[in-house]
Amino acid sequence: MKILRLSKFTCLDVLIVLVIIVLLFALIIWITRPVMDINFKVRLTKFRVGIGREEITKFKKIHGRYPICLDELEQYSANNQKIGFRGIVFKEFCSDQRGNSKECNVLNGKGGWYYNKNSGELRVNVTKPIKHYLKIYLGSLRNEIPADW
């Protein structure tokens, strides 16, 4: 008569399987992180446009004029958080020059920020859809033009 034996998993077998699963999860996170990071930064840039416009409006109410440049607004905002300013940092992450804080008075699509000190108009200086600059970005804002936000 033949005896059937059930194989039992040893602790070592279970540990090896768990290590493989953890390594697979780590690999998935490592592969998808740049895409998630870009999605966050694009949304952060759009958020900064709205906050920047609010800060410009507050500055104008207090001083009766628009800030001369974004650096002036950034410093004023950082030093006056107790009276409702948020301490905004002007960096955009939609162009191919990610993290650009350069200010320009001409909307030319070279990245950074467009700011008109006479009208207080603030825009992202990116005049083509985001997919033109960030090829791996697949988020919902992919076909939007940041200068139109």
103-104 β-sheet, strand order: 103-104, 113-116, 121-124
Instruction: Give the three-class secondary structure for 76.
Output: helix
CA–CA–CA angle 70, 104, 127 (5° rounding): 115
pLDDT at residue 6, as a whole number: 58
Query: What's the token pair of residue 1?
Result: 């008569």
Summarised one tens digit per residue, pLDDT across range 52-107 is: 999 999 999 999 999 999 999 988 988 888 777 787 788 888 886 767 778 888 88
**pLDDT surpasses 90 at 127:** yes
pTM of the model: 0.72
CB contact at 8 A, 121 and 115: yes
